[in-house]
Chains A and B, each alone.
Chain A
Amino acid sequence: MASRLADLASQMDQINEFDREPVAEAQLQGGGRFAGLFAGEHVAATEFVIGAFFVIHGVAAKDLIWGLLLGNLLAVLSWTFVCAPIAVRTRLTLYWYLRRIAGPGFMAIYNVANAALYCILAGAMISVSASALGDWIGLPATPLDAVLPSSAGWVALALVLGALFTILAILGFDSLARFASVAAPWVFAVFLAGALVTLPKLGVQSDFSNLWEVLSTKVWNGVPVEGQEKYGFWQILFFAWFCNLAMHIGLSDMALFRFAKKPWYGVFTATGVYPGHLLAWLCSGIMVAAIGREMTPGRMAQEALGVAGVFAVVLAGWTTANPTLYRAGLAIQAVTPNWPRWKITLWVGFVTTILACFPVFFLKLLDYVALYGLILMPVGAIVFTEHWLIPRMGIAPDPAERKGLLVSVPALVVWVATLALAWVLPFHLFYRWLPCWLFAIVLYAALRRSFR
């Protein structure tokens, strides 16, 4: 087992070799570059589903707006004060920094977990695209509590789209990535235009005089759809904060911020989260209210924008699934020795396509997003503690590198114990990550002291 883990670790090192060294001074980027980089980052297919779910969960208008404003602010502050400073001080990716701290074997486990989570996310995106096409060709809508596919037609559609997305990913990531990058501004325009044309259907007058009244009584009226849990201000605030948890508190975005000249460049994430995680969510909420609060992203976009709306959802699903398939492939490359890129993408695409046949992944997207962040968050807590607290406690940093460890026992214990605590905590799923993050920091510091 240990030798297998060592082999995997060595393969992973080769894959990540090109960013092994800290970023050089000449490669650093200015703030404008970061503002542009993040601008299109958070407008994706998930936004069609998340904004609509807030309506279905009966959020009141005032709770939603304040929750999103403050929750996104907390997310931006997390990037600015947690992720970016560590990235700027080390100039390393999370991969190489964590490798020093927790060992290459730990990284292998982390990569496999990451790949599995990416596959589920990509599968959910294929499901969203399939649901849009399914509505368009007249397949019955999937009930909100569905776990298994509702019809053979749904399965066929998910398989065809999954196969298509996988083939496109195999054919060439670079050219497709270029296409995907121009899709983001268009998808944002789809949200704005879709909401605007939906407002008259809800009774908003052309001078906007009754806009707030309509929004607070017909869109976010505080009444959940039957059988759905009611969400309030705190759920929204926490959701907006943790929906990119793996990136800020989980420190994945060290890969980007290691190029930043200043640690405060984390504030530029606001150019992405406010359009995507505020405006786009509000727009999709308005659109879903006009179709009787049914979770059918395709129908809601079609009602608003015609055939362009259907293609917007399908395309947004694809442009989100495509880089996710790529990332899953990269993460899994370590455990597939000597496989060519096409073969890895094929297998990742196969698994993703099977997952896409189960609508539960997109119908429970809010919970999945919470779990995704929760699972990877302890790793961020370990790095945070090692970077800021351990030197102040008089303990030598980077134990795995100094001692040549394959796996750091304290890091592994903290990860498992934090997830176990998250499992049993009697809080709403959305709130669990914060006490667990604090727990992970305290436990890791205590273990490092006792293992010294």
Chain B
Amino acid sequence: MTRWLLAAVPLVVGVGSAYVHFLNNLSEVAFHRVFLVCSVLWFSLSLWAQKTGKPRNSS
């Protein structure tokens, strides 16, 4: 569970950075970079969490 919570952080940061951009406090180019990094981090962390944690949705 802790691993999944950690993996979710980049997703929250990615969507949060979109809101910061919406408020005009982050340039478009900077937002695109932040979102790209967050995306890479999400896949890395969630695959790690999936590999080491209990598999999800396996009925």
* Contact count band on A: 20 to 34
Binary CB contact string for chain A from 240 to 274 against chain B (1 if under 8 A, 0 otherwise)? 00000000000000001001000000000000000
Could you tell me if B35 and A178 are in contact, using CB atoms closer than 8 angstroms? no
Could you tell me if A196 and B59 are in contact, using CB atoms closer than 8 angstroms? no
Q: Which of A200, A306, A312 contacts B32 (CB 8 A)?
A: A306
Could you tell me if A186 and B42 are in contact, using CB atoms closer than 8 angstroms? yes
Given A197-B31, A306-B32, verify A206-B18 contact (CB < 8 Å): no
Smallest Cβ-Cβ distance to A208: which chain B residue? B22
Give bound CA distance, A308 to B18, whole Å: 13
Given A197-B18, A206-B24, verify A37-B32 contact (CB < 8 Å): no
Could you tell me if B15 and A189 are in contact, using CB atoms closer than 8 angstroms? yes
Interface residue A140 (Cβ < 8 Å from any Cβ of B): no
With a cutoff of 8 Å between Cβ atoms, the chain A residues found around residue B24 in the complex are 200, 206
With a cutoff of 8 Å between Cβ atoms, the chain A residues found around residue B36 in the complex are 306-308
Could you tell me if B57 and A192 are in contact, using CB atoms closer than 8 angstroms? no
Smallest Cβ-Cβ distance to A179: which chain B residue? B47
Most buried by A among B15, B18, B42: B18
With a cutoff of 8 Å between Cβ atoms, the chain A residues found around residue B32 in the complex are 305-308
Could you tell me if B50 and A259 are in contact, using CB atoms closer than 8 angstroms? no
Could you tell me if A193 and B42 are in contact, using CB atoms closer than 8 angstroms? no
Could you tell me if A182 and B46 are in contact, using CB atoms closer than 8 angstroms? yes
With a cutoff of 8 Å between Cβ atoms, the chain B residues found around residue A305 in the complex are 32, 35
Could you tell me if A189 and B14 are in contact, using CB atoms closer than 8 angstroms? yes
Binary CB contact string for chain A from 184 to 224 against chain B (1 if under 8 A, 0 otherwise)? 01100100111011011000001000000000000000000
Give bound CA distance, A193 to B22, whole Å: 10
Could you tell me if B46 and A206 are in contact, using CB atoms closer than 8 angstroms? no
Could you tell me if A193 and B47 are in contact, using CB atoms closer than 8 angstroms? no
Chain B nearest CB, measured from A429 CB (Å): 34
Given A182-B50, A186-B11, A189-B11, verify A37-B22 contact (CB < 8 Å): no
With a cutoff of 8 Å between Cβ atoms, the chain A residues found around residue B8 in the complex are 185
- By secondary structure, the B interface counts as helix
Interface residue A20 (Cβ < 8 Å from any Cβ of B): no
A-B contact count (CB 8 A): 74
Could you tell me if A259 and B15 are in contact, using CB atoms closer than 8 angstroms? no
With a cutoff of 8 Å between Cβ atoms, the chain A residues found around residue B47 in the complex are 178-179, 182
Q: Which of A181, A182, A196, A312 contacts B18 (CB 8 A)?
A: A196
Given A36-B56, A181-B56, A182-B50, verify A206-B35 contact (CB < 8 Å): no
Could you tell me if A308 and B15 are in contact, using CB atoms closer than 8 angstroms? no
Smallest Cβ-Cβ distance to B21: which chain A residue? A197
Give bound CA distance, A306 to B47, whole Å: 23
With a cutoff of 8 Å between Cβ atoms, the chain A residues found around residue B17 in the complex are 193
Chain B nearest CB, measured from A236 CB (Å): 26
Interface residue A33 (Cβ < 8 Å from any Cβ of B): yes
Give bound CA distance, A206 to B19, whole Å: 9
Most buried by A among B23, B28, B47: B28
Chain A nearest CB, measured from B1 CB (Å): 13
Interface residue A10 (Cβ < 8 Å from any Cβ of B): no
With a cutoff of 8 Å between Cβ atoms, the chain B residues found around residue A179 in the complex are 47
Give bound CA distance, A178 to B46, whole Å: 10
Interface residue A336 (Cβ < 8 Å from any Cβ of B): no
Interface residue A228 (Cβ < 8 Å from any Cβ of B): no
Give bound CA distance, A178 to B54, whole Å: 12
Give bound CA distance, A185 to B50, whole Å: 14
Could you tell me if B43 and A37 are in contact, using CB atoms closer than 8 angstroms? no
Give bound CA distance, A259 to B59, whole Å: 8
Chain A nearest CB, measured from B59 CB (Å): 6
Chain A nearest CB, measured from B8 CB (Å): 8
Interface positions of B from 3 to 54, Cβ below 8 Å from A: 8, 11, 14-15, 17-19, 21-24, 28, 31-33, 35-36, 39, 42-43, 46-47, 50
Could you tell me if B14 and A193 are in contact, using CB atoms closer than 8 angstroms? yes
Interface residue A151 (Cβ < 8 Å from any Cβ of B): no
Chain B nearest CB, measured from A39 CB (Å): 8
Residues of A near any B CB (own CB < 8 A): 29, 33, 36-37, 40, 178-179, 181-183, 185-186, 189, 192-194, 196-197, 199-200, 206, 256, 259, 305-308, 311-312
Beyond the given A36-B56, A182-B47, A259-B59, could you list 12 further A-B residue pairs with CB under 8 A, ordered by the A residue number? A37-B57, A178-B47, A181-B50, A182-B42, A185-B46, A189-B42, A192-B15, A196-B15, A196-B22, A197-B28, A199-B22, A200-B24
What are 21 of the A-B contact pairs (CB < 8 Å)?
Answer: A36-B56, A36-B57, A37-B57, A37-B59, A178-B50, A182-B43, A182-B46, A183-B43, A185-B11, A186-B43, A193-B15, A193-B17, A194-B18, A196-B21, A196-B22, A199-B22, A259-B59, A305-B35, A306-B32, A306-B33, A306-B35
